[in-house]
Structure 1
Amino acid sequence: MKQIILSLLLSVSLFCHAQEEGNFTPSDLLASMQPGDKAALLMVHFGTTYDETRTRTIDAINAKARQTFPELELREAYTSRIIMRRLRTRGIDKPNPAEALKQLHADGYTHVVIQSTNIIEGVEMESLRRDAASLAALFKEVRVGTPLLYSVADAEAVVGILAATKPAKGSVVLVGHGTYTPSTASYALIDYMFKAHGWNDFHVGTIEGYPTFETMLAQLKAGQAKEVTLVPFMFVAGDHASNDIAVDWREALEKEGFAVNVRMQGLGELSAIQELFIDHARFILKHRMVDIMEKKAKYAAEKD
């Protein structure tokens, strides 16, 4: 356990160093503010209609962010239109990112840091970045933090955290949502990294991307696994966990002869995972993302 914790701390340190050398540059947002300016942190979640998992994940990380950044006004937004619509019928209103940003502007906030609880740099992050860019003119500065898996160091940290939660026996199958974009490779990276560290009884599959169920199944059979624990590789254990994982994937594996357990626990319930997201928010407070054209121009000038 001590080795895993040390590895995690090293990974966070490497993340900061690698990002400063990559597409981020040091820039303290709070230090740039003038008298009368106001700063806010907008936590953005896909959302869930499951009250218990929301309490243990979304509400928990919001509370941790509020405690970590007392100098920032804490607001939240959801991105799933379906979830927001269902919650509204129960009297629970959650704004989307654009609505939350417009309200922050109306409330006089001049600087906004946006941190999502997305797992990968997929379509949800693309949509969020577009929302932020479309309303950036309303503020002096808007910064968007990175998802859980953005760098190799992020993946190393996540692998270390999850390895420490392994059941006493059997194999673990992490089930992600998946996507149709190239960012589905993030799941394959995690699968590969587990095995590179010698954790050959960890496998990754996705519901709507790659690695597929069939890919994961082939690995289980190759490893001659007998018992499997299915674990959501998602921030919350909501609809996908309750239906696709706990029912469809479980039944499919049982038909293949495996003894199957299901751990109904979203990644967001793990304190160490929450801390990684908080670290990403802390990082973006102190760094700004460099525009690719700015970076290319600087590189060319240095070579001339």
Structure 2
Amino acid sequence: APVYRAWTSGFIRKKLRNRDGIEIPSPEDALERLLAEGVRDVLVQPTFLLQGIEFEELTETLRTYLTRFDRICLGRPLLSEDRDLDRITDAVGASFPQLGQDEALVLMGHGTKLGANQVYRRLAGLFQERGYGNILLGTVEASPGLSEILGELDKRKPEKVLLAPFLFVAGDHAVNDLAGDGPDSWKTAVVSRGYRAECLTKGLGEYPAVRRMYLEHAAEAVPL
């Protein structure tokens, strides 16, 4: 079956168009193309982490096309069920076997104002419960935030702090909010506390175990 990609962010699509001359379709554009090509059965697998605002908007967009296709199936975001949380914890934890006892890994997620944000709190606890005690998880736009992370670091006083994005793509948030040299970046905050900091710009989409999870979610997609 043919595979098409679509991006929900109009801002990013416009930026790529203006800067690089690259045209990426929106979900609506992709669906219209499928209709024009005579496709009747569609499976949509989002690369969102949570069932947040963008997932809700995508779902509503797809519902407006239900009468125009025979069937539209939708896969779950990455972190939708308890088993997903266990698997992502182990996938990330196993990716840092070299992490020393005198080091801490700080993961930066995006965060959401919706109830789905509780996933970050649960994951932060799971890292501790599942044997990855020196992995901390915070968010840019919700809780747990940077202040909580800094408080935890001050309790532990690690020799070195690794900073990595808990984001599908290591994009603007990773480059600026996490690893930037500006006064508000997480790296700046960590260094100003006297810690040695190292930044890793590897998005979750680069982890083989995470890719497998998305493929499984696509295989389990259900009709709208």
Give the TM-score normalised by the residue count of structure 2: 0.93
Partner amino acid, structure 2, of 1:77? A
Residue number among 121, 125, 144 corresponding to 2:51 in the alignment: 121
Partner amino acid, structure 2, of 1:273? V
Moved over 6 A (4+): none
SS at match of 2:106: strand
Residue number among 178, 196, 208 corresponding to 2:129 in the alignment: 196
Work out whether 1:74 is the aligned partner of 2:3.
Answer: yes
Q: CA RMSD in A?
A: 1.2
Give the TM-score normalised by the residue count of structure 1: 0.69
SS at match of 1:76: coil
SS at match of 1:143: strand
Deviations 1:212-242 (A, max 9, x none): 1011112222223231111100011111111
Name stretches of at least 5 consecutive residues in structure 2 with no aligned partner. none
* Counterpart residue number, 1:234: 167
Residue number among 273, 276, 280 corresponding to 2:210 in the alignment: 273
Deviations 1:263-288 (A, max 9, x none): 1101111111111101100111xx44
Shift, 1:198, TM fit: 2.7
SS at match of 1:219: helix
Superposed, which structure 2 residues align to 1:287-302 within 5 Å?
287-288=222-223
* Counterpart residue number, 1:21: none
Residue number among 38, 42, 65 corresponding to 1:112 in the alignment: 42
* Counterpart residue number, 1:40: none
Residue number among 90, 93, 97 corresponding to 2:27 in the alignment: 97
Deviations 1:74-120 (A, max 9, x none): 01100111110011112110111111111111111111010011111
Q: Partners of 1:279 and 1:212 in 2: how far apart?
A: 31
Whether the 8 Å contact between 2:71 and 2:223 is mirrored in structure 1 is no
Whether the 8 Å contact between 2:72 and 2:223 is mirrored in structure 1 is no
Superposed, which structure 2 residues align to 1:1-304 within 5 Å?
72-89=1-18, 90-166=20-96, 167-169=98-100, 170-247=103-180, 248-284=185-221, 287-288=222-223
Name stretches of at least 5 consecutive residues in structure 1 with no aligned partner. 1-71, 290-304
Deviations 1:154-180 (A, max 9, x none): 010000111111243211111011111
SS at match of 2:22: coil
Q: Which has the larger radius of gyration?
A: 1
Instruction: Kindly indicate whether structure 1 or structure 2 has the higher relative contact order, using CA contacts under 8 Å at least 6 residues apart.
Output: 1
Partner amino acid, structure 1, of 2:161? V
Percent of aligned positions that are identical = 31
Whether the 8 Å contact between 2:48 and 2:168 is mirrored in structure 1 is yes
